[in-house]
A and B are shown apart, each in its own frame.
Chain A
């Protein structure tokens, strides 16, 4: 990455911090755990990075590193989304749950 790209990246980085703070500013406590789990799945996007550099290093060491990176990244993505979905199904299973929690 050259200097100009780094600067562009820095702009994106700073703006994304604000977005990240903004989108979850109001979240009920019951959703903290699924939200953590869902965010966990989103950083599984590293799998794309792992795919892009999978063959960047030549030789057996490169193959091992590349292979492991993609495996770990995929575990993060697939496991993360599936486990979050399961958690959210639990909440949804009995729709009446939301009501008693709403009234004070």
Chain B
């Protein structure tokens, strides 16, 4: 046992290498599944090796059941979740990691202070791990709630919001500084009480941070919180003196931050924009143009069915609304019906459709839509001119012509699908409510456009029913 214990740090080094290789593998389409498994194998090795440590081995009665419970919850959760609910599931797992990092920080603090003097440098790492982990925990919980529909997904704003959020942040930092100063011997504070207070303030701050962000932006937020948890884990590594934790946590923190920036960039927004919702301010400017006398034309499912039935080429443009309503199977049925009539049906996939890159591909694959019918934006954009009907299902900003023409629009410059060039446009949408960008879409005022209002799943099945009736 004694000799084997010397091996543990070497196993940790090996595990750290598998994490780097795994992450590298995950960034390429062919290597991704292997990369994920390599990292998982490294993780398993590290966990097994940890049992060689005497304090872990002697506490197996506590640790093994905890691992068993966590493994069952994690496994069942991951297996049962429908593909559409993927982002919130990642949020839950991420929150769990953040919570664990916060708990490790608390335990390390109590242990170190129990033994007497604590190094102020270590306390810096401890409070950072605690704060970041707790923010990630509660922020992820809110993100989950919003995506799952447990909390209103809309941006939640109230007057004095910045004051409250700022106050929570300031209180948290103040408490953290008091703990550091106390460790340095500068002040005397009731440390355990302050520690608990910092934890509570951090939890509240995480809630306050995510509540004002709309549901459509959640994937970016989850990606950011993911990076936070990575950082919290790195800080926990500092406080307990474990290099593997520092490497793994920092890797995720750095790559997660980069990924978050890439994701916001694909939406033509800066991260600050996502977090602090500067789009609210831009609404007024772009919204004014809607009042120039053009009106929205609402159509029924029957009208839509007739239009589709007489078309020769149809392009379906799926978006977030399709994912939310889980309409992918209905869409597949609709496409099958149209194809039986000899109508050509294709799908146009915008890179950020669904606000989760690759989201549409996964969903449509789940409904067995053949891959050769899914087209990237660059491949299909020139074909909209020749399409008789462009059927937009729950997509909004990625079809907004303002991105091409209106320099004052906040989404100006974002590449969009040329839906407006189709002969006819049918838009299935729940309401006239703007999309995530919070701006109106000129496409809906186009005389060629008919709006079919309703939940994507219901609307699609109504159209399917009408088509069947006609056939």
Contacts and interface: CB of A to CB of B under 8 A. Distances in A.
A38 B86 CA distance: 13
A103 to B, nearest CB: 8
B189 interface: no
B119 A2 contact: yes
Given A30-B358, A36-B222, A39-B23, A20 B251 contact: yes
Contacts of A26: 27
A65 B359 contact: no
Given A12-B250, A30-B29, 17 more contacts: A1-B239, A1-B241, A12-B243, A12-B246, A23-B20, A32-B356, A46-B100, A48-B50, A49-B233, A49-B245, A57-B110, A77-B47, A79-B73, A80-B97, A83-B78, A91-B361, A100-B374
Contact of B36 (A30, A41, A77): A41
Interface string A28-62: 11111111111111111111111111111100001
B263 interface: yes
Contact of A97 (B93, B239, B371): B371
Q: DSSP class of B's interface residues: helix, strand, loop or mixed?
A: helix
B240 A46 contact: no
A97 B369 CA distance: 11
A18 B469 CA distance: 61
B27 A31 contact: yes
B206 interface: no
Which bucket holds chain B's interface residue count?
Answer: 35 or more
B2 interface: no
Interface of B: 12, 15, 19-20, 22-24, 26-30, 32-33, 35-37, 39-40, 43, 46-47, 50-51, 53, 55-56, 58-59, 62-63, 65-67, 69-71, 73-75, 77-79, 81, 83, 86-87, 89-90, 92-94, 96-97, 99-101, 103-104, 106-108, 110-111, 114, 119, 121-122, 125, 219, 222-223, 226, 229-230, 232-234, 236-256, 258-259, 262-263, 266, 351-352, 356-359, 361-362, 365-366, 370-372, 374-376, 378-379
A75 B24 CA distance: 23
A53 B239 CA distance: 11
Contacts of A16: 234, 246-247, 250-251, 254
B121 A1 contact: yes
